[in-house]
Copies of this chain bind each other. A is one copy, B any other.
Amino acid sequence: MVSALASVATDDHARLRLWLRLLRTTRAIERQLRERLADAFDTTLPRFDVMAALDRAPEGMMMGELSRFLLVSNGNVTGIVERLVSDGLIARGHRDGDRRAAIVRLTPAGRTQFATMAAAHARWIDELLAPIDPATAQDITATLTAFRSQWEKEA
């Protein structure tokens, strides 16, 4: 019994330590990306994230889809979208001519600007994660992908 309890305690600890490390690594990389996006492109990480999501959706996305994809609230996305529209980088439209299905999509100018930023972003990530060899990166990605469970799908 004692060893079973000890094992449970260790298990908890391993997952909690992993979570704290995931959080710290992610925040440190995000801080780097934030600084580099500001320096190189005078833009922000949330703007980049919105443009990245729309770049994967040539037919555009509804605001609710965009929020769910980014895992942030609709309210947060609205202000970013409005500024990107006024900057001419994204445009509003309707899906399949359905006036109830309002969508946003990248403009050609937005797509061009995003391609330049995405290439820099990929180089930065490769540099920041350089100590992790590609095979290990693949293993960790597989573990974390397999772990997408019910609660993530619902999120």
Chain B nearest CB: distance from A12 CB in Å?
Answer: 5
- A137 is an interface residue with CB less than 8 A from chain B: yes
Known: A32-B151, A144-B22. A11 touches B134 (CB 8 A): yes
Measured CB to CB, the nearest residue on chain B to A32 is: B151
Identify the stretch in A85-93, A103-111, A122-130 within 8 Å (CB) of chain B at 4 or more residues.
Answer: A122-130
How many copies of the chain does the oligomer comprise? 2
- The proximity string for A residues 58-101 relative to B, scoring 1 for CB distances below 8 Å and 0 otherwise, is 00000000000001000000000000000000000000000000
Known: A16-B126, A137-B18, A151-B32. A25 touches B144 (CB 8 A): yes
Can you list 8 A-B pairs with a CB-CB distance of less than 8 A?
A: A12-B122, A14-B138, A15-B134, A16-B125, A22-B29, A27-B71, A28-B155, A31-B71
Q: What is the bound-complex CA distance between A128 and B19, given in angstroms?
A: 10
Known: A21-B145, A144-B21, A144-B22. A152 touches B14 (CB 8 A): no
- A23 is an interface residue with CB less than 8 A from chain B: yes
- The proximity string for A residues 124-154 relative to B, scoring 1 for CB distances below 8 Å and 0 otherwise, is 0110111110111110110111111101100
